[in-house]
Structure formats: structure tokens, C-alpha cells
Amino acid sequence: MHILVKISAMSSKVCFLSSILLFLPLASYAYWPTTIEENLPVAADPDTMEWNPKALPYPDGSTLVVYHKVGFGDCYQIIDRFGQLKYETPQLLFYNISENGLSDVISDDEGGAIISYATNDGVEGIYAQRLDSLGNCLWGDSGVRVFPFFETDRDICTDGMGGFYLAAAPDESALDWSDLWIQRIEGDGSLPWGEEGILLAGLPDVTARYPRITHDSNGGLFVIWEDSRPPYWPEAALFAQHIDSAGNILWLNDLYITEGLVWEHIVISDGEGGFILQTNYGADFNTHWRIDGDGNILWIRDHLSWYFHAKMVPGEPGFFYLGFIYGPGVYGQRMDIAGNNYWPTWGGSDVGALMAISPPDWNHDMQDDYIYQYPYFYGLYDYNPGTSYPIYLCTNALDSAGNRKFSDDLGVILHISEQWWDLNYYSVLPDDEDGIKAVFQKHVGVSTRRDVYAKRCNSDGSLGGPSPITVEVTPVNPPIQIPASGGSFDFDIELSNIAYNQIDYDVWINVLLPDSSLFGPLMGPVSLSMNPGFTIERTRTQNVPAGAPPGTYTYQAWVGVHPTQPWTSDSFTFEKLSSSESGLTIDKWTNSGEDFHENFANTNLIAPDTFHLLSVYPNPFNPITILSFELQVSSLVELKVFDINGRIVAARHASPLSGSGATPTTGFYPSGAHQITFDGTGLSSGIYIYQLTAGGFTSSGKMVLMK
């Protein structure tokens, strides 16, 4: 429960978690920018170049960004949901490697991530590192050497058990061909298939290259690669093979798929023991295949997406999505695994569902990224106005019917660059608050300087993010009616830091006049610095002068960076009955009451029972998800889950894990980190609201069950 402590004659009240509240000069801000011109600097060291960012959604609404820092190696940073960076300095993934090749980044399916990279600096090879959900390196400071040769022609995929598979096609030393090797890396970084793994394709004078892999939903994997074996030389052909978790090759013969020089191919799991393949061998259109676990081709379709740079991503169970650029438009296609398309396609009304379209004389830079998260298919793409510049970085999303989330032709403009070569390496990442994040590389100043930036838009298309500070403003004796001669009213204002770190911010109050014009600030801006978990409450008085015009007013309390970055606000209305004077000046709208600037350093304060909800993962889930939380003191923990109509679908005193020292019948947990498993078996797919309560504190949010 909140502990309210009087600290002055004016009965100022403060809620504390663990330490004192300090009021300091306003420091620099690092939150989601609210203007097109600004970007969130993720890695922007003026003395070196950072490039090739890869990003993943991370627990608790955060974002993992992996990038290469020239002269140092591969680094990572975590952006929290409010746009703050977790680390003050770059976190190196591999301390013994200063220069390496491009990184691959995937989820480990357990809330963390796996990063692989190739290096020929020092002990050459392919290395890997695993991060847990908090950003800790699990495979030591130097990672694990998972393959003994340097090779950039490679691919990785999860094994569904915290580890991953690697496919690499290194050139044979002093020979004019390359072989294909498959390696398995377990969740602890060990190599059950030995140092090199399994040789899958290694015929003399035959080149095996461009491997693409995906899991088979049963612990094994599918491998698809280009092969120049006779009689397909010099054009080559595309082959596939199925390997189980023990390293056994399951198909007697490699599966021949198609002949011809394949420009690009993408593979994803179909979720039912087979895979979906997208290929392009020099045509304007792509061809899609579904192949089952026994190597049977179930269907083939073409003209569903266009050009070799088109993308294919998994969707909700039983579906996948295609994203591509065609003429002035950015398009999407929704497919089920039976091969049926749900949006327009070639030969019909259009080539797909339109996500964005530019004026006819505008161009694309042919860089885009797509991802599905229920209930939208999201895209990140760019435009430039003909042969002139700058570049417009934009985003939009399509619902299941193919309708655009944002109606503007270009979607939401996130940033406008200065030069055509400014922006590269896009990642689009939706979040659980219906926002869209973008991570990208931007050239700064001269063409050789590159930095990593991020941007976010809200569900209404505005730029910015959720506020780390909440504000509530409440009239003491509503309804408020001010007489013609003027008067005053009392109100309570409450400010809370819901982030996990100290937040510097401003608080101010404006009033919206009856003619809808804005007047103020009537209070502030007051610059505050608040530790995580703190809540402060103040009671203040607002004077309304006789000269205020009659009508309904909206009294607005704001937090953010005044005046350029308002984060969030709360308001109430009052009425002025008539006016007896003319003129509207700030000095007559006096605001007084409990001060925001008392010194609490020597106050004897009490810390309440409290907890931090660390993550809900996976989310979406099917049918099990895990809520991770941390208690500072022993507390009764209760979990409630509601459907979108507010009906309780699950409620119980959460039972602790065995050996925790708690009493399962009461649901009391000791201090420390804990997990609760929620099983959605028996519930239908949809959005649910969790409510986790401990020691009088409650944390709630959305989770999505997808079956």
C-alpha cells in the first residue's frame, strides 16, 4: 500500500519505494522524440562509426539493438518502452574480437536473444553470444566459437529450446567451390555435433551456397540452398533437406525444387512440420512453395509478390504475410498455409493490399522491412520525391481485412533525411501499446560517418511514446462554478514515475478557454527529478479572475519537456458563469498551494511493500506465458486475468515455485525474483488483460492468446 508521509505544515504527501526524492536541475532528455526532425540516438559516438543495426522486440516493451562499432566490435543496447537507454556506454558482445563481419540476431524463444557473427581477426571463425531477457551475456565475455572458419554466407534459426542452428557455406581452401555445413548450438553454448558440425553438401567441383534455414517445429530444421551439381551447372538449382535434432539426414535424396540461378530465396516454418519457400530466379514476380516434412510439394503459386527484395514473414497460426514494393506503392499480401490469398493479387483489382502510395514522380530507395504482430501487418519503407531528395522514412500497418491503419498516402512520416544515401538497415518493431518503432542507420555529416537511431509513433500516428511519468489532476469539490466576480477552486495533482530509472521532467498547467484557445502556463513549468516508483501528491488552489469570459474551461496538467515535448496530460472542466471585467492576464490567474520544492533529504520515510513486474513472455502466447516479477519484501501475490469485456477468466492466489520457502496455500512469496505461469488452455484466441497484485501494488497490461 502507499505510505503517505507529512513533511511540512502544508501537509505535502510523498509515496516512496526505496529511497528519497531529489529535485535537481533539469538534465538532458532521452525519450522518444515527438518531431520529424529529431531521432533517438542509440549509438552516436562522434569519434567512431556505428552501423548495421539489427533490432528485436524485447520483454516489457523494450527493444534490443545490436550494431557494429568500428574499432571495437559488435555491441548492443536496450531501449526501454519510454525511449530511455538501459546502458550509459555500449555493451560489447565479444571482448576478444575488435573487427568482425555482419551480425545475425534472432530470438532465443525464451525472452532473450542469440547473436552470431563471423571474424577473421585473431582466431577466425563464426562466434555466437546469448543474452537473457535482462541483457546479461550467458556465454561468457568472449562468446562461443561455433564454427572454425570465417564465412559471411550463412544463416541461423532457433531450435525452440534456447539454442540455435547454423548453416554456413565456406569456400574450400585453394579450390574453386564451397561446401555446406550444418551446426547445432545448444542453449548452454555447447556443440553436440562437434567443432565443424555436419557436412550436408560437399561434392568435389560442386558449389553449395546461399543456405537458408528454418525450424521444423519438432526440434529439427529444413535447409534450402543453391547447388551447382550436374546437370545444373552453370545455372545451378535449388535443393532442400530435412535434418532432425540428433543430426540425422531424414530424406534419402536431396529434394530438387527448381532450376535456374536463384536471385533470392526466403524460408519460414509453416507451423505444421513443413515450410513455406519464396524464390525469385530473375523474374519480376516471386514463386511460393509449400513443402511438408516428408518432402512433398503441396502447392506452388506465383505472382503473389514482386521482385527479389520482397519479404515474407510468419503471421498468426496458419497464416503468413508478404510485403513488397510495386511501382509507387508499398503492398502486403495475407496468405494461409493452404495457399489461399486473402487480399487482391495480380490479375485482379490490384497486386496486393495497399499500405502506402506516393505521387507518381516519386521513387523508392528499395529498402523496407515487415513484421506481423496481432492484429496488424506492419511495414517500414522510404520514399524520395523523384530525382531530388531528401528521403522520407515512413511506416504503416494493415489489418486482417487489408485496411490501412493510417489513412495518409505515405502513412506516418517518421523522419526526413538530408541526402539520398542517409538511411539504411531498417527494422520495424510493433509494441504491446499499439505503437510502431523503427531502428535504422543514418549517415551524419560526411558520408563515412554513420550512427544508429530509433523512432516511434503512437497508435494515433503522432510521434513519441508512452510517458514514464503519469499525472492525475482532480478537483476537490466538483462540479466547479465560478461566479461573475471571480473565485477559486482547490485541486489535487498526483505525479508517479512508472519507469525503472530516475526521470527528469517538467510539470505545468494550462487552461483551454471557452473559445478553444490555449492560455498559460498557469503553473510552472516546474523542473523535477524523480526516482523509480515514486509518487508525489500536492493540493493546490487556482484563482480565476473576474475578467475570465463565461463558458466551459478545460484545466490541463501536463508532464514532459516544456514546451517542445509534452508526454501526457490529465484534465477536468469547470464553468465560469459570466464576466464582470475585461482582460485576461496571467498575473490574475494565480496558482498557489503545496510546494514542489521541499528538501526531503533528512526526512524519515517508510518504504512500502512493493514489486516490479519485469516481463510477460512470450506475448503473444499459445497457450502458456510466464509473468516474471521481483519483490522487495515478502508479499501475498494474486493474479487476475480478464477478457476484453471485463469478465474474469482466471483468478487465484499465485502459488510459488517449490523450494521458494513460501506457503503454496496462501500465495505468499519471499523477497526476490519469481515467475508465475498462466495457462490459456480452454480460452479462445484474443486479447486478455492481466492484473498482478502484490503488497497492495498492482501492475496490469495486455497479453494476446493466439491459437
Q: What is the average per-residue pLDDT within 21-35?
A: 52
Q: So what's the pLDDT on residue 501?
A: 72
pLDDT surpasses 80 at 671: no
Q: So what's the pLDDT on residue 283?
A: 83
Q: So what's the pLDDT on residue 609?
A: 42
Q: Compute φ and ψ for 79, nearest 5 degrees.
A: -100, 125
Those residues with Cβ within 8 angstroms of residue 230's Cβ, 6 or more apart along the chain or in another chain: none
Banded model confidence at residue 581, pLDDT cuts 50, 70, 90 = low
b/e sequence 639-675, b meaning 16+ C-beta within 10 Å: bbbbeeeeeeeeeeebbbeeeeebeeeebbbeeeebe
Banded model confidence at residue 21, pLDDT cuts 50, 70, 90 = very low
Single-letter residue type at 72: F
Q: What is the average per-residue pLDDT within 246-266?
A: 90
Q: So what's the pLDDT on residue 329?
A: 94
Q: So what's the pLDDT on residue 657?
A: 39
The residue with greater pLDDT, 601 or 348, is 348
pLDDT surpasses 90 at 413: yes
The residue with greater pLDDT, 79 or 30, is 79
Angle (CA) 72-75-81 rounded to 5° is 150
b/e sequence 226-265, b meaning 16+ C-beta within 10 Å: bbbbeebeeebbbbbbbbebeeeeeeeebbebeebebeeb
Q: Which three cell numbers, joined as nine digits, stand for 181?
A: 555445413
pLDDT surpasses 80 at 176: no
Stretch among 3-17, 534-548, 614-628 having the lowest mean pLDDT: 3-17
Banded model confidence at residue 53, pLDDT cuts 50, 70, 90 = very high
Banded model confidence at residue 2, pLDDT cuts 50, 70, 90 = very low
Q: So what's the pLDDT on residue 259?
A: 86
Single-letter residue type at 284: D
Q: So what's the pLDDT on residue 273?
A: 96
Q: So what's the pLDDT on residue 302?
A: 94
Sheet containing strand 264-269, edge to edge, reads: 264-269, 275-280, 285-291, 297-306
pLDDT surpasses 70 at 229: yes
The residue with greater pLDDT, 94 or 285, is 285
Q: So what's the pLDDT on residue 458?
A: 95
Q: So what's the pLDDT on residue 595?
A: 83
Q: Which three cell numbers, joined as nine digits, stand for 631?
A: 519483490
Q: Which three cell numbers, joined as nine digits, stand for 226?
A: 543453391
Average model confidence (pLDDT) for the chain?
Answer: 84
pLDDT per residue over 467-484, tens digit each?
Answer: 889 999 999 999 999 999
Cα distances from 649 to residues 146, 336, 596, 637, 690, in angstroms, run 46, 30, 43, 17, 10
pLDDT surpasses 80 at 683: yes
pLDDT surpasses 80 at 601: no
- pTM for the model stands at 0.77
Q: What is the average per-residue pLDDT within 329-339?
A: 97
Q: So what's the pLDDT on residue 664?
A: 36
* Domains, the chain: 13-25+467-593 (2.60.40.3880), 58-244+256-262 (no CATH), 611-705 (2.60.40.3080)
Q: Which three cell numbers, joined as nine digits, stand for 309?
A: 527484395
Cα distances from 573 to residues 50, 473, 513, 521, 586, in angstroms, run 50, 11, 10, 16, 19
Banded model confidence at residue 543, pLDDT cuts 50, 70, 90 = very high
The conformation of residue 621, written as its DSSP 8-state character, comes to B
Q: What is the average per-residue pLDDT within 18-40?
A: 57
Question: Which SS3 state, helix, strand or coil, does residue 59 take?
Answer: helix
Q: So what's the pLDDT on residue 271?
A: 95
Q: What is the average per-residue pLDDT within 486-491?
A: 96
b/e sequence 554-570, b meaning 16+ C-beta within 10 Å: ebbbbbbbbeebbbebb
Q: So what's the pLDDT on residue 25?
A: 28
Q: So what's the pLDDT on residue 561?
A: 86
pLDDT surpasses 90 at 348: no
Stretch among 108-112, 263-267, 609-613, 624-628 having the lowest mean pLDDT: 609-613
Stretch among 160-164, 249-253, 385-389, 476-480 having the lowest mean pLDDT: 385-389
Using alpha carbons, select from 377, 367, 313 the residue that is nearest to residue 343: 377
Cα 208 to Cα 215: distance, rounded to the nearest angstrom: 20
Q: Which residue has the cell 552501423?
A: 51
Q: So what's the pLDDT on residue 250?
A: 97
Q: What is the average per-residue pLDDT within 77-90?
A: 90
Banded model confidence at residue 352, pLDDT cuts 50, 70, 90 = very high
Cα distances from 620 to residues 149, 403, 587, 664, 702, in angstroms, run 37, 22, 53, 28, 10
pLDDT surpasses 70 at 218: yes
Pairing type for strands 565-576 and 481-482 reads: parallel
Q: What is the average per-residue pLDDT within 229-255?
A: 93
pLDDT surpasses 60 at 175: no
Q: What is the average per-residue pLDDT within 282-293?
A: 93
pLDDT per residue over 270-284, tens digit each?
Answer: 999 999 999 998 789
CB atoms within 10 A of CB 151: 21
Report how far apart the first and last C-alpha atoms of the chain are (Å, whole number).
Answer: 37
DSSP 298-338: EEEEEEEEESTT-EEEE-STTEEEEEEEETTEEEEEEEETT
Percent of residues, the chain, with pLDDT higher than 70: 85
The residue with greater pLDDT, 8 or 375, is 375
Q: So what's the pLDDT on residue 693?
A: 76
Q: So what's the pLDDT on residue 15?
A: 28
Q: What is the average per-residue pLDDT within 541-545?
A: 95
Angle (CA) 525-531-535 rounded to 5° is 70
Percent of residues, the chain, with pLDDT higher than 90: 51
Angle (CA) 682-374-111 rounded to 5° is 80
Using alpha carbons, select from 455, 396, 398 the residue that is nearest to residue 423: 455
Q: So what's the pLDDT on residue 73?
A: 84
Q: What is the average per-residue pLDDT within 691-704?
A: 73
Q: Which three cell numbers, joined as nine digits, stand for 185?
A: 548450438
pLDDT surpasses 60 at 79: yes
Q: So what's the pLDDT on residue 677?
A: 84
